[in-house]
Structure 1
Amino acid sequence: MARGGVDVRVARDADGTVRIAAGPAPGHVEASDDLAAGGPDFTRAVLDVAGAVLVWPVLGDPGPPSAWVHDPERAQQWLWALYGERVAAAVHDRPARDLGGVRVAAEPTALAGGAARLGLGHWAARWWPASYPDGIPALEPDVHGLELAALTHRCQQLFDDGDDQPDDCAAHLVGEHRAALDPLVRWWLGAPGPATTARRLESVLRLIDAAADGAGLDGPELRRLRSALERHGPAGAPVDPGELFAPHDRYALAAGEPPTAGGRVIARGSGINDWRRYPPGLVDAAESAVSWTVRALGARRRIEVEVLALGTAPAAGAPLFAEVLVNGGGPLRVPLTGRYDLWTGGFELGPELGPEPAAGATPPRVEVGVLLPGFDPGPGPSGEADARAAREAVRALVGRRLAAAARPPAYEGSPHDTPTAPFLAETTAATTDEEY
């Protein structure tokens, strides 16, 4: 952020919601649309805090976030520390239904950098486009979960005792991901690579210790962590983080017979892999992960769908479906079954396909997507071409971050105040990339 700060617009709606819009002066936007603007969900980092939701553009300047403040009184505890006193005062002073708002300079603060990094960390936990064909390794979830715990503790001023902040979970994250504590300590004690990596590891470990101590957590891993921190400083033999955090999931070669053997192939193609329509960890994020084939089996017609799974086996019992549209007809939902590295499914087509096309005739129009019912938010506000371009931009961003993680520069100050610094899980992913 520039030394002189960045202008934001502060406005209040009739329902009491205060909107803080970062970036160039926008026209009037309804409060309900503020958080949906700016591209697909996976291009925005979102953080639930006391009385508000903060939003950063993942593909743009991290800068000050936009905010949707639904409880200004609760938000006053952090507004001044995140945006500076002038923005906090503007939020407090907004009259009812002040749609035009006022332009105020947001000041650069340490909390702003930490909050942006925490928001990006939650984005990576949800939207990281792990893909075997694209060569993007998955983030080690326990390593990333512990760093999120450290960042949450560092940014605890953003949260209060309310139970409506799902991102205020430092103690829960430490408990859930403590399996990575011993390897992280070994990594730090081995002092591998640049000194900045060792400092980043120590900072994360000390914040984890503080978060666990504040929540009254205990256990052998935490006691070993505290003992190592008391000795203060790397003292072990160098270690390779790629060996410490070697991926447990490997892609297996799909074995056995195809779902339906034989038959004449009438048409085949790729489907749409919309990341918004299923939770992380189920489907490979590659653009070509969804494919379909239409076969003629005598007088019958059958469509078969294959979806690359993420990992060696999909989650047991996950009701993943393919959504199929044929020749512009209504969508048909086909249940998919996890099979080695694939989700597969198929069904017999009715008269909507028509007769088998003659040689040279136009093939049937088939559209296929993959979704998890109940999780699927439905069509996005942007068209598929724009969504595809956004996915490509995210892949490019992740590629740059992995390249930076493989060659970390000398960062100034605390890495937790530097939103774009690599996460530890990105460093381990970059180290194990060749084995992926």
Structure 2
Amino acid sequence: MDVSVGECGTILVAPAASIGDGSAPARGPDFTRAVLDVAGAVLTWPVLGAPGPPSAQVHDAGRAQQWLWALYGERVALAVHERATGRAAGSPARVRVPADLTALAGDAARLALGHWTARWWPASYPDGIPVLAPDVLGVETAALTHRCQQLFDDGGDQPDDCAAELVDEHRAALAPLIQWWLAAPTSTPTARRLEAVLFLVDAAADAAGLDGPALRHLRAALAERPSTGAPADPGTLFARRTGYALAAGAPTAGGGRVIARGAGTNDWRRYPPGFVDAAEDAVSWTARALGAQRRIEVEVLAHGRAPSGAPLVAEVCVNGVHRGRVPLARRDDLWAGHGDLDLNGGLLPGAQPPRVEVAVVLPGFDPGPAPEPAPEPSIGPDAVPGAGAVDDRAARDAVRALARRRLAAAAPDLPYDVPPHAAASVPFLAETAAAATAADEDY
């Protein structure tokens, strides 16, 4: 690991290969990094890279010393301490020291990946990537949070430290998880994985003083472990909701003459998880001429658990100029809407086809568009959709490939206890359940 002093006295810890200009670890799109806020620091793992110790930006070395040695080993902890206290005067600005493979490093990587999965899992019907049950993932994240308590303190500035909140929010998954565990033969890796998670959840709830019917049922099951005698299919226990509640709002308007159509930009960063299908071509648009009017219609594939009534909008730009936003309403498995736009002469017959860019966003959540390369050529009514692709499309494709690999590996006979450097590669229980559910559904 390279240990150095960054801007404002921040101590940087990073794998040697990830250092670019020496000032900070190399970075990529948000959705290619798993991040964990811990006591005195922020830890970062590359989701698409090889497993290994995380990069760290240590802003309070005193608080971080409680976990640095357990995460990286004593040599890295000492190097950080020396640079934080000024005892490294006269030594190189950057020092390279070996890190140890520790159990805490593996657990922390898995916890960070759990948070990443809750935010960035690329669920998509056309891409064949099933939705993960959020409560099942939340329960396992709670268990991992409790296991990683050494990373946290009572500073109150760590949003990832509260196992009790996760248990309370996702306790609906406890009953089916218990049923799955009780039905699994005790000697199987699946039963051991389930048991490890349930015991950690019980410990986290007990430490926080949580109570309630679901937690009392959990404690009784852990104390007695009565076998149900019947196999439990996780695909049945965690079957996804089918169908959609209809949202208010009229469908897109037809009629008129189609003068252009294309695919919009599906930037995962511009809306919360669980709203839009993650497919690259989930956003499509059609421009029509209705007399002198120019109307744009937008359709967006909805996520399998998309809420109704959310104020999603489609942001429309023509030739790089913002032309307005089109409100979208949920109807069946689509977000859809249409709007009349003042295009100042654009989209006229015989004129050079303009460059139309459409992106779906949630106002108030949207951080703004990602940087884009030179735009692709405009397309007309008969062209193949594909305009508006952003420069991180390759990264999104890599994330989809990662999700498919994890689902393919989500077999019930995988062990729970693995070497620290491989802990994050073990599928989550939510992935195992999703793989089983997808086998029974049209994916």
- Mapped contact 2:323–2:342 kept (Cα < 8 A): no
The structure-2 alpha-carbon separation of the partners of 1:290 and 1:27, relative to structure 1 and needing over 3 Å to count, comes to closer
Q: For the residues of structure 2 that align with 1:381 and 1:89, how far apart are their CA atoms?
A: 39
Q: Does 1:336 align with 2:325?
A: no
- Unaligned runs of 5+ residues in structure 2 are 374-388
Shift of 1:321: 1.7
**8 A Cα contact 2:246 2:331, kept in partner:** no
1:347-371 Cα deviation digits (max 9, x unpaired): 212243436324xx75332111111
1:71 paired residue number:
60
Superimposed CA distance per residue, residues 330-379 of structure 1 (whole angstroms, 9 cap, x where no aligned partner)? 35222222222222222212243436324xx7533211111122222223
1:368 aligns with 2:361: no
Instruction: Return the alpha-carbon distance in structure 2 between the equivalents of residues 286 and 163 of structure 1.
Output: 37
| Contact 2:315/2:326 (8 A) holds in 1 | yes
* Cα distance change of structure 1 residues 214 and 410 upon mapping to structure 2, 3 Å threshold: closer
Stretch of structure 1 that moved more, 55-64 or 410-419: 410-419
What SS is found at the alignment partner of 2:425?
coil
CA deviation vs aligned residue, 1:93-136 (integer Å, no higher than 9, x gap): 01669993111111010000000000000000000011111111
What is the deviation of 1:309?
1.4
Deviates more, 1:223-232 or 1:130-139: 223-232
Alignment map for 1:20-169 (pairs within 5 Å): 20-24=13-17, 26-30=19-23, 34=25, 37-94=26-83, 100-169=93-162
Q: Does structure 2 retain, via aligned residues, the 8 Å contact 1:114–1:417?
A: no
Whole-Å separation in 2 of the counterparts to 1:119 and 1:296: 49
Answer yes or no: is the 8 Å Cα contact 2:260–2:288 preserved in 1.
yes
Corresponding position of 1:4: none
> Is the CA contact 2:312–2:328 (under 8 Å) kept in the aligned structure 1?
yes
Superposed displacement of residue 417, structure 1: 7.2
**Cα deviation digits, residues 174-224 of structure 1 (max 9, x gap):** 111111111111100000698111110000000011111111111111111
Q: TM-score w.r.t. structure 1 length?
A: 0.90
Alignment correspondent of 1:395: 400
- For the residue of structure 2 that corresponds to 1:200, the secondary structure is helix
**Does the 8 Å CA contact 1:326/1:353 hold for their aligned counterparts?**
no
Residue equivalent to 1:324? 316
1:404 maps to 2:409: yes
Q: TM-score, normalised by structure 2?
A: 0.88
Report the more deviating stretch, 406-415 or 338-347: 406-415
Contact 2:251 2:331 in 1 (8 A): no
Q: CA deviation at 1:258?
A: 3.8
Shift of 1:416: 11
- Which letter maps to 1:11? S
Asked if the contact 2:245/2:308 (under 8 Å) is kept, the reply is no
| Larger displacement relative to structure 2 (268-277 or 322-331) | 322-331
Q: Distance in 2 between matches of 1:182 and 1:416?
A: 32
* CA offset digits 1:6-36 (Å, max 9, x no partner): xx111113522111112416243445xx4xx
- Counterpart amino acid of residue 111 in structure 2: L
Q: Is the counterpart of residue 430 in structure 1 residue 423 in structure 2?
A: no
Name the counterpart of 1:183. 176
Residues 27 and 261 (structure 1 numbering): CA distance in 2 closer, same or farther, change over 3 Å? closer
- Runs in 1 of length 4+ with deviation above 4 angstroms? 95-99, 232-235, 251-257, 381-385, 410-417
The whole-number CA distance in structure 1 between the counterparts of 2:357 and 2:371 is: 19
CA distance in 2 between counterparts of 1:304 and 1:26 reads 46
Residue in 1 that maps onto 2:12:
19
CA displacement at 1:294 relative to structure 2: 0.4
Between 1:417-426 and 1:263-272, the stretch displaced more is 417-426
Specify the alignment match of 2:252 in structure 1: 259
* Deviation for aligned residue 1:412: 4.7
Question: What CA distance in whole angstroms lies between the structure 2 residues aligned with 1:332 and 1:324?
Answer: 6
Unaligned 5+ segments in structure 1 are 1-7
Aligned length: 422
Return the match for 2:224 from 221, 226, 231.
231
How many Å separate the matches in 1 of 2:54 and 2:183? 37
Superposition RMSD on alpha carbons, in Å? Answer: 2.6
